[in-house]
Amino acid sequence: MEIIMSIVAGVLFAAGLYNLLQKQLLRIVVGTALLSHGAHLFILTMGKLKEGAPPILDYDISEYTDPLPQALILTSIVISFGLTSLLLVLTYRAAQENDTDNMENLRGNHDE
Amino acid sequence: MLIAVLLPLFITLLIPFVSKFKQKFHTGIFVLLIPLGIFIYFVRYISEDFSPVSASYPWIPSIDISFDFYLDGLSLLFVLLISGIGTLVTLYSIYYLHKSEKLAHFYIYLLMFMTAMLGVVLSDNIYVLYSFWELTSISSFLLIGYWNYREGSRYGAMKSMLITVFGGLSLLGGFILLQLITGTTSIQEMIAQSDVILDSPYLPLILVLVLLGAFTKSAQFPFHIWLPDAMEAPTPVSAYLHSATMVKAGIFLIARFSPIFNAYEWFFIVVSGIGIITLCWASYMAVRQTDLKGILAFSTISQLGMIMAMLGFGTEAAVFAAVFHILNHATFKGSLFMIAGIIDHETGTRDIRKLGGLMTLMPISATLALFGTFSMAGVPLPFLNGFYSKELFFENSLHLDSGNLWLAEFLVQAVPYLAVFGSIFTFVYSMYLLFGTFTGKKNLDELPSKPHEAPLGMLVAPAILIAGVIIIGIFPNLLNENFLAHAALAVSGHEVHEHVHYWHGWDSPAFLMSLTVLALGTLLYVFRDKWTGIYKSIPGALSFNKVYDNLVAGLDRYSSSFTKGYMNGSLRRYMALIISTIFIVTLTVMLGTDGFSFSTDDLAEITAAEILVAAMMIVAAFGTIFPKNNIGVILLLGIAGYGLALLFVFYRAPDLALTQLVVETITVALFLLCFYHLPKLRPIKESKRVKITNLIISFAFGGMMTLVGIAAHSSKWFETISGYFIETSHDLGGGDNVVNVILVDMRGLDTLFEICVLGIAALSIYTMIKLRRNKEER
């Protein structure tokens, strides 16, 4: 199963990157969101998949899944959510101010 | 000794205050006392039984860098030249520079230079020597660019800076290698270990690096090009830096290190070879110049080449001759520069084509120039010091010892002829300088100002130097035993008892060579108009100035086009570059270290439901690549996110599933909001080629990450630490939900800053939406 999950994560990375290399601002943000999905799945797969019960302690269970990657992913989800929403508002504002959402037109000044 | 070296530098602090009163008295009068004091301090050391003096002052003892000073005969010669000519130049500059000039700047730079130069010749520690060496470059740069409103000054300053600093850096490289080999930073200790250096495999590299430093500083072929452009400096500066002192720093360096390298065959070939080429080329080029200071600049280059050649010969007699000529050159060249400055000052031009017939108007200058130029040309008169040193040069060029290398044998054969060739042209330009300026037709109307004799104060300094020329000329052995012999001893390492003869006899080959020079030189000078056409074709396109200009301009163009080539402002391009770099580096490392390992043990079992979700995510992810519209892409992103939440459910991560569901919902809502508000979204066309490139890049990267993931999973080195978390969660953390206990208790700091991240994001969003500072509102 880990191999399949690795492939899924790889596909998420690839699709995320492809979107990241687009011209349209919105699709770049989509790309970052896909990339973070890929990363989360990656972290989860790197720990062992399915070794026991959910990590909520109970008297009759001795085998639990690894809680540490879950904690890391939880942190990461929240951070990437904050980042994605920031990027979205930035996209919105940039497109509004410059009247375009084409990255090729947003190149900055020539006399920099 | 430290005080003597650093005195000028400290005095610079006082200059701004002194120059406040420059209307009452010229700042130079105050400055004059400093080099004079140093000169008097050091002149006491001249005696027949002089022995080296050393002194040490700690600077950075932990890395073996301290102000070690070592005063031997060679240093003494240079110290006296620096302080003596420094005094005269300061005196001259008092009359040369008007009070309306920025005098404080001038004297601060000049004193800075004096400290630097004293430091160079007295330092025994290579790094201290290097520090002072670069200080001479910097102060010379400032002095050349003194009239910084002139284009030519800035160009000359830049050029000299680039060339000398290039040499300085390579010198530093040579010094570092020397220290690595010998384990000491002291030059005297290195000389004691010269056999270690001679056995080292790095010897050729060290020689090249050190010689590059010396050749660039001393304007040797082909690095001589900065010196003629440095003539944009005020004349006192040209007289001081660019004839008597700084350009001899390279000579000093070679003299100082020649006890180490002398035994190495290539030392003779390179130093003498370059020296003799410089002598010939510069004296040939000097005849072409029309600017007085231009002639003198090329003349300086050629004389330096001659000294360099003699140092390369390396025999005791040749070293003595070199030391003797260092002294002689400083006297006559300093005075000639000052006279050129006087002519410039009094007539308003330095163009020799406009000058002429000044002899009757400026008789004293003409007399001084006569002695100076005749001494420079080496005219065989027994009261000119230039004659003796040229005679010694000829004589030594005939008694060379060739090593085993064929190149050295060839050089030994060629040197006497080249020496005569160079001297003939030296004679021609000296005569042209003298007679072109002071005799012939007067054309006073063309001159910018009416010429008359210079004020007496201006003439004092060149007169003293010319007096030196004549005194050494009449008593050539006056300074031998008590002064020059010590310098020659320091260079060659042997006692040198050389006696300069007035007369070598008719049959002496050196004298015959001098006569040849005199005869051919006169002939060439008289028929100058007939043959100078040769200059149109012979440097022509081969001129080294053109090479330098093309190099600098080409470097500029190349680097600019290189930068523009990859920094085109397109973020996509940068992204693609970054990803490709990560891909290539990771792949190389993984393949190089045999990092890809695949084992199928210990895998979780495959279930149908998971496969289904995985397939759904893959389809959704692929779907975002082929957008029909953006809504579709956003919804597909949502599908991938919910698929991930489902996977979290399968893999027993309830908290993750919960969070992921909520976050994905909000994210999709935000995306839709953003989409709704974006102004007139047009689909953007992509060319097929770009699409394919992007596909290749992204899928190569995704594939690599898959492989990395599998490889990482296949090689687990140790057990996870999560056992501890599960065991202690209840007892120490007081909670049963281990993930939550980790988040708020065991690794609570992460959570704190994650809260910060959310807070900052929220504030930024608020700011971006609320704060508007448009142009209208300002």
pLDDT at A110 over 60: no
Would you call A26 and B671 a contact, using CB atoms and an 8 Å cutoff?
Answer: yes
CA distance B396 to B321: 8
Contact B704, B586 (CB under 8 A): yes
- How high is the pLDDT of residue B624? 86
Would you call B726 and A57 a contact, using CB atoms and an 8 Å cutoff?
Answer: yes
CA distance B240 to B680: 73
pLDDT at B601 over 90: no
Nearest to B208 by CA among B159, B141, B257, B158: B257
Exposure string of B414-445, with b = 16+ CB inside 10 Å and e = fewer, is ebbebbbbbbbbbbbbbbbbbebbbeeebeee
3-state secondary structure at position B103: helix
Residue owning tokens 């005095």: B11
Contact B218, B275 (CB under 8 A): no
Distance, in angstroms, between B629 CA and closest chain A CA? 11
Q: What is the per-residue pLDDT across B451-504, written as a single tens digit (0 to 9) for each? A: 677 788 888 888 888 888 888 888 877 777 788 888 888 888 777 776 666 666
Q: What is the per-residue pLDDT across B20-43, written as a single tens digit (0 to 9) for each? A: 776 777 888 888 888 899 999 888
Specify the higher pLDDT residue, B238 or B348.
B238
Q: How many CB atoms lie within 10 A of CB B68?
A: 25
Contacts of A91 in chain B (CB under 8 A): 674, 678
3-state secondary structure at position B712: helix
Contact B520, B539 (CB under 8 A): no
Report the 3 state secondary structure along B169-234.
HHHHHHHHHHHHHHCCCEHHHHHHCHHHHHHCCCHHHHHHHHHHHHHHHCCCCCCCCHHHHHHHCC
Chain B interface test: which of A43, A74, A83, A99 (most B C-beta within 10 Å): A74
B542 contact A CB<8A: no
Residue owning tokens 């790095």: B202
Nearest by CB to residue A7, choosing from B625, B706, B743, is B706
Contact A25, B677 (CB under 8 A): no
Nearest to B75 by CA among B483, B646, B372: B483
Which of A10-19, A51-60, B463-472, B535-544 has the lowest average pLDDT?
A: B535-544
B660 contact A CB<8A: yes
Q: What is the per-residue pLDDT across A45-96, written as a single tens digit (0 to 9) for each? A: 887 776 788 888 887 777 888 888 999 999 999 999 999 999 998 888 888 7
Smallest CA–CA distance from B654 into chain A, residue: A54
Query: What's at B214, amino acid-wise?
Result: A
Contact B603, A2 (CB under 8 A): yes
B641 contact A CB<8A: yes
Smallest CA–CA distance from B624 into chain A, residue: A15
List all residues of chain A from 43 to 62 with a beta carbon under 8 Å from chain B. Answer: 44-58
User: Can the peptide bond before residue B476 be classed as cis, meaning omega within 30 degrees of 0?
Assistant: no
List all residues of chain A from 65 to 94 with a beta carbon under 8 Å from chain B. Answer: 65-68, 70-71, 73-75, 77-79, 81-86, 88-93
* Phi-psi sector, B357: left (phi>0), alpha (psi -120 to 50), beta: left
**What ipTM was predicted for this assembly?**
0.93
Nearest by CB to residue B738, choosing from A5, A55, A85, is A55
3-state secondary structure at position B237: helix
Smallest CA–CA distance from A53 into chain B, residue: B652
Contacts of A103 in chain B (CB under 8 A): 570-572
Q: What is the per-residue pLDDT across B262-320, written as a single tens digit (0 to 9) for each? A: 888 888 888 888 999 999 988 888 888 888 888 999 999 999 999 998 888 888 888 88
Entry field: residues in chain A: 112
CA distance B136 to B139: 5
